[in-house]
Amino acid sequence: VQIRNYLATKDQYLLNYRLEKQASIDGLTRVSNRRALDAYMAKLVSEEIPFSFSLMDVDNFKMINDNYGHQEGDLCLINIANVLKVNFGENVFRYGGDEFAIISFEERDNVTEKIKNINVELLDNDKDYTLQICAGVYHKIKNDNERIVFERADKALYEAKQQGKARVIVFEERIDL
C-alpha cells in the first residue's frame, strides 16, 4: 500500500509539474507566455532587483499574415522568438499576438544595441518581405511597480512605432505619460 501511495503521489507531482510548465509556455513560439512574465516581473519588483524591460512589436505583421498567410505569420513569430532567445536567453516572453517582451539584467545601452542587431539579423531572411521589430526599453532602477514598468516600456514602444519601422526607443523621463 505504501509503495502504491508513493507511486501515485510521485505521478501526481510529475503531472502537476508538467501542467504548470505547459501553462507558462507559449504553444507556438515555445518561449514563456504573459502569465510567466507577470509572475517573474512581480518577483523582481518585490525583490527590488534592477533590470531592463523591453516591449517589442513586429513591424508589418498584419501585412505578412494578409499577403502570405497565417502559416507564414506563425513562422515569422517562431523565427523572432528563436532569434530573441539566442540573444537574450530564457527571459523572452510572448506578450500576445505579435508582441514580445524581454527582461534583461544588462545595461540598457547593451539591450538597445542587441535589439538593433536583431533587426539587422532579421533582414537576412531570404523572404519577399521585410521582417523587423520596434521596441520600447525601460530600465527599472528605482521602486517602480509592475504597472509603471509596463507603461513606460509601452510608451517608448509607441514612440518607436510613431518614428517608423525597426526603431528602438529608450524611455526617458521627458516622454509624457
Whether the CB-CB separation of 161 and 105 falls below 8 Å is answered with no
Active site residue 154: no
Q: How many CB atoms lie within 10 A of CB 14?
A: 10
Cα angle 47, 170, 147 (rounded to 5 degrees) comes to 40
Residues 6 or more apart in contact with residue 153 via CB below 8 angstroms: 53, 54, 55, 101, 136, 137, 138, 171
Q: Which three cell numbers stand for residue 115?
A: 535589439
Question: Residue 169: what residue type?
Answer: I
- DSSP-assigned beta bridge partners for residue 67: none
* Angle at alpha carbon of residue 71, lines to 68 and 87, rounded to 5°: 100
Q: How far apart are CA 54 and CA 75, in angstroms?
A: 22
User: Which residue among 26, 98, 126, 144 is the active-site one?
Assistant: 98
Which residues belong to the active site? 98
